[in-house]
Amino acid sequence: MAMEPEDDFSAMQKRITNALVATTRSTTQVCAEDLAFYRSIDPAIANGLDVQHARLLALAEKLLANGAAGTAIPRPKLPDGDSLETNWRGVVDVIDRLLERTDTCLDEFKGALKKAPEQVATSTTTSAAPGHTTSSTPYQGKVPRNLNIIKPQRFFEEPPNNKETGAFKPLLTSKPHAIVPLEESLRHQSPFNIQTGTEQYEHPYKVEIEQYAYPSFVTAAAEPTPYLDYESTSATYVDTLEGLDEMLQELKQAKEIAVDLEHHDLRSYIGIVSLMQISTRNKDWIIDTLKPWRRRLECLNEVFADPNILKVFQGAYMDVIWLQRDLGLYLVGLFDTHFACRALKYPGASLQYLLKHFCNYDAQKQYQMADWRIRPIPTEMLSYARSDTHFLLYIYDNMRNELLEASSPEEDLLQDVLQRSKDCTLTRYENPIYDSERGLGANGWYRLLQRTPTMFTKEQFSVYRAVHAWRDATAREEDDSINFILNNHNVMAIAREMPLDREWMLKIIQSVSQPVKMRIDELVAVVRKAKQDAGPEMMDVMKQIESLDISGKPAPSKTHGRQAVPVPVKETAKDGQNQSAFLTPPVLKRAVERLKSSQLWGSMFPSKQSNGARPVISMPLPMPAVTAEIFEGSKTAPDSPAPQVEHAYVPAAQRAAPQTDDVFIIKGSKGHKRKLSEVQKDAAANTPPDPQLGGEEETRLSKRQQKKAERKQAKLDKKREAAGFSQQADEMQLDATSDIDDAIISDRGVPDSRAGSEDGEIEDDDDKDDEEDYEPSLTLPTAKGQLSARKQAKAAFKLAVKQAYGRVGAQLAALPPSRSEEEKMDRKLERTRLRKEAKEQTKLLFPALYPPESIDYAAQPSLIVGTEEQGGKRKKKDKGGVKKAVFDVYNRAMDAPKGLGRAQKGQGKTTTFSK
């Protein structure tokens, strides 16, 4: 007994899965071991690993070569293990190709996709829709979207021509219910298509539609006819010519029919009608429009163009175009429920809303965007398609009655809906013509830029137009939509980045489609050539297009009798860059048109009756009463200066002092911090007496402040007397210190802060601290009682050193600010050196503390090894564990030999010598 194909596939799948699982487990166990260790201790293992490594690389290279055969993907070569990383992109491309082929084969095996011979030969009799899908499908409970299946348009008797550049000629071979014969209708041509500028054919049923009068049963109220039970009935699936003839004979007997279409536009350049649903009062049909003989559906014009049969659609605008383009069908006598929703002002206008409102039926709208090319069609999708027309005639009955009830002699809502429906049937399909120069049209580059506020350079704009044109040409050749080839986001990204190699290009593009993978080198060449041959600037081209009307001709100077409103545009700024790019020309144009048509401003702007004359705009404001008191001030001040012109320069001597309510002092004139009490004291001294305070209160406050100041001054004098210094000696000491600091700074070339600085900025936080340390008003530290003469001298010396340090910091703050870390470090070293020299110079003023003496550097102890008198070595601890007293010569940096560097002083701290 032969094994069934499904069982055979299941057994093969099980064997492959078991083999892969065993291989994966073995690989995991081997990788868990320390192979490097075993390789180092056993040469035999090392040789075996090398042999298996080379064998696996050779096998992988053969598999990749087999997978890349028959494609444009270059075969990756794997001579060693490192080549796997360098050629990783090529390996991924081959694997992706293999996975896509696997998906296609699985779809063919499971029935989701039929092979080409089967599709051509498939022809079944008319059957019930549910019975048509009794076989199980792999999409139970799922919504199939964008399937990778063979394109059905390849097997059409008349496949679509995507490269047509002329006018679209109607597909009609006969014209039922004609007033004007078909030959005469096709002979007449309009002058031009206003969008493409090409000639076009007249609508073949234009005269019939314009002269059409709706039947009387459409304009009369009637009781709605109930629909048949949805669950107990089924649709008839039509996929043969015999079934088509049977359906046509039944449709001719109907007075109203409901029609709907299912469309697919991702894997087709112009789109493709995948399914048609037609319902009468007592029957539903589902027609397969993907059959090779689909053009023979033109016979339905005997019903669609019949003026005695009403055709009910929901949102028929695109359906009218699709019927003309694919099947050559035209509508005479349309009722669009979408226009009825708008006339009745329903909160919703979708079919889903109408089904819920009138029939309490929840439509499964998740199947609206499904891939309707799938054959056989799953039961769930057939049920959704049938529901689109099964209830539509009942909905029409209710909406017709509501329109009649809501109409009035002044406003006939039903006639308005019928007229809008008639105008919709006059819509014509035209071939999509790509205008690479101006980018006009539905799929042109100008429309995308108009909706995206992007500014491109000359090179980027050239690349954008070139890539956009390449995408359109590739989509036409592959018969895919432009968004499937390359979506708009990727087009803009390529234009911004301008990649010049395939690796860069693949990194930029998101979700690379198969056609782009096959033509990646071609796309890179397009970008490179467009970048080299950069054309005009983007704004120049956009302005040129904006100066044309939609027909491509120069726009008139006046629009509907109104004077065009000029829009000021800045040409260039100081740096030569265009500063008016905030609004693109399309935005400006829409704003101007909206302004001309707006009624918000009334008659403020010129109209047709005013012949372009601008009205005089007067906005009077009430003025205060003028009295003599207003001019009284001018008589009392005859010598007041003349009034200054606004924004005129006023010298500093003539400027008025700023009026402030409070005094905020952060630092004094010499940079030191002040206490709150001092600030309050100065503020009280500078504040004039308040006239509102009484004399007694003012006297009491002034006495308190005076006593407080006297107490502070007494404390200060007492400290100075205890230190043995008078005010005059203190000032002389400060003047001497200042002279020494000035001499040191002038010798080093440091600018004096008293001469002023350009920016007045502080170099860093350390210099700021130095400035804060400079406090001339600081008193000498004293203890209780009379100090000894040496302690007094030391206190004076410390004060003088601190003042010298402050002056050094103030002088360094006048230097230009440091920008880099290296400059800041140099500035800190310079500050340290200057402070050191200032301290040495200050010591000269205190000979009692630092008598002048000559230092014999040769007699000083070594930093690494001590002198012979000191033993030259560190003293170790005694056996008892008691450490002898040691003396660190360099424990303090001030006691170190003068002239030594910082690093040497630091090293000296680590060496101790015996006492």
Find the helix or strand (DSSP H, E) in which 386 lies. Answer: helix 379-390
Alpha-carbon gap, residue 435 to 465, rounded angstroms: 11
What backbone phi and psi angles, to 5 degrees, belong to 284? Answer: -125, 145
Identify the band that residue 723 occupies on the pLDDT scale cut at 50, 70 and 90.
Answer: low
Alpha-carbon gap, residue 539 to 537, rounded angstroms: 6
Q: Please give the pLDDT value at position 893.
A: 47
pLDDT digits (tens, 9 = 90+) for 474-529: 999 999 999 999 999 999 999 999 999 989 999 899 888 999 999 999 999 999 99
Q: Between residues 165 and 635, which one has the greater pLDDT?
A: 165
What backbone phi and psi angles, to 5 degrees, belong to 336? Answer: -100, 115
Q: Does domain 153-426 have CATH number 3.20.190.10?
A: no
Instruction: Judge whether residue 126 has pLDDT over 60.
Output: no
What three-state secondary structure class fits 809?
helix
Domain spans, the chain? 28-109, 153-426, 445-549
Q: Please give the pLDDT value at position 807.
A: 85
Tell if the pTM clears 0.75, that is, is over it: no
- Within 8 A by CB and 6+ apart from 771, the residues are 671, 762, 806, 809, 810, 813
The β-bridge partners of 336 are 313
pLDDT digits (tens, 9 = 90+) for 671-721: 455 555 565 666 555 555 555 445 565 567 677 878 888 888 888 887 777
Identify the band that residue 659 occupies on the pLDDT scale cut at 50, 70 and 90.
Answer: low
Q: Please give the pLDDT value at position 241.
A: 95
Q: Which residue has the tokens 């600085």?
A: 757
Q: Between residues 615 and 65, which one has the greater pLDDT?
A: 65
User: How large a percentage of the chain has pLDDT more than 90?
Assistant: 35
CA–CA–CA angle 516, 518, 519 (5° rounding): 65
What backbone phi and psi angles, to 5 degrees, belong to 584? Answer: -75, 160
Which among 137, 681, 674, 72 is positioned nearest to 378, based on CA atoms? 137
CA distances for 69 relative to 60, 74, 75, 478, 518, angstroms: 14, 9, 8, 21, 13
pLDDT digits (tens, 9 = 90+) for 253-266: 999 999 999 999 99
Which among 448, 582, 470, 464 is positioned nearest to 515, based on CA atoms? 470
Alpha-carbon gap, residue 638 to 359, rounded angstroms: 92
What backbone phi and psi angles, to 5 degrees, belong to 751? Answer: -65, 150
| Cβ-based neighbour number of residue 459 at 10 Å | 17
Identify the band that residue 447 occupies on the pLDDT scale cut at 50, 70 and 90.
Answer: confident
Find the helix or strand (DSSP H, E) in which 472 lies. Answer: helix 458-478
Identify the band that residue 340 occupies on the pLDDT scale cut at 50, 70 and 90.
Answer: very high
With beta carbons less than 8 A apart as the criterion, state whether 216 and 399 touch: no
Q: Please give the pLDDT value at position 408.
A: 93
Alpha-carbon gap, residue 14 to 628, rounded angstroms: 111
Q: Please give the pLDDT value at position 394.
A: 97
Identify the band that residue 115 occupies on the pLDDT scale cut at 50, 70 and 90.
Answer: very low
Average pLDDT, the chain: 74
With beta carbons less than 8 A apart as the criterion, state whether 685 and 702 touch: no
- Within 8 A by CB and 6+ apart from 636, the residues are none
Instruction: Judge whether residue 548 has pLDDT over 60.
Output: yes
Identify the band that residue 221 occupies on the pLDDT scale cut at 50, 70 and 90.
Answer: very high
| Alpha helix positions (H), 648-750 | 676-686, 695-723, 727-748
Instruction: Judge whether residue 532 has pLDDT over 70.
Output: yes
Q: Please give the pLDDT value at position 717.
A: 80
Q: Please give the pLDDT value at position 757.
A: 39
What backbone phi and psi angles, to 5 degrees, belong to 263? Answer: -125, 150
Q: Please give the pLDDT value at position 303.
A: 97
pLDDT digits (tens, 9 = 90+) for 161-220: 998 888 899 999 999 999 999 998 887 666 555 555 567 889 999 999 999 999 999 999
Q: Which 8-state DSSP code applies to residue 548?
A: B
With beta carbons less than 8 A apart as the criterion, state whether 392 and 314 touch: yes
Alpha-carbon gap, residue 104 to 93, rounded angstroms: 17
Most confident of 153-167, 337-351, 586-600, 818-832: 337-351
**Averaged over 524-536, what is the pLDDT?**
94
Instruction: Judge whether residue 846 has pLDDT over 60.
Output: yes
Q: Which CATH architecture has domain 445-549?
A: Orthogonal Bundle (1.10)
Long-range contacts of 163-167 (CB under 8 A, 24+ apart): 163/476, 164/431, 165/198, 165/431, 165/433, 166/198, 166/199, 166/431, 167/193, 167/198, 167/199, 167/200, 167/201, 167/430, 167/431
Strand positions, DSSP E, 134-254: 189-190, 200-201, 236-238
Report how far Cα 323 is from the mean position of its chain's Cα atoms: 40
Q: Please give the pLDDT value at position 654.
A: 66
Instruction: Judge whether residue 113 has pLDDT over 60.
Output: no
Alpha-carbon gap, residue 332 to 309, rounded angstroms: 9
CA distances for 303 relative to 1, 36, 88, 206, angstroms: 54, 82, 60, 17
What backbone phi and psi angles, to 5 degrees, belong to 760? Answer: 65, 20
**Averaged over 870-899, what is the pLDDT?**
48
| Cβ-based neighbour number of residue 466 at 10 Å | 23
- DSSP states of 553-610: SBPPSEETTEEPPP-------TTS--S-TTS-HHHHHHHHHHHHH--TTTTSS--TTT
Which among 357, 251, 263 is positioned nearest to 310, based on CA atoms? 251
Q: Between residues 717 and 640, which one has the greater pLDDT?
A: 717
- DSSP states of 104-161: HHHHHHHTSS--HHHHHH-----EEHHHHT-S--TTTTS---S-----GGGG-SS---
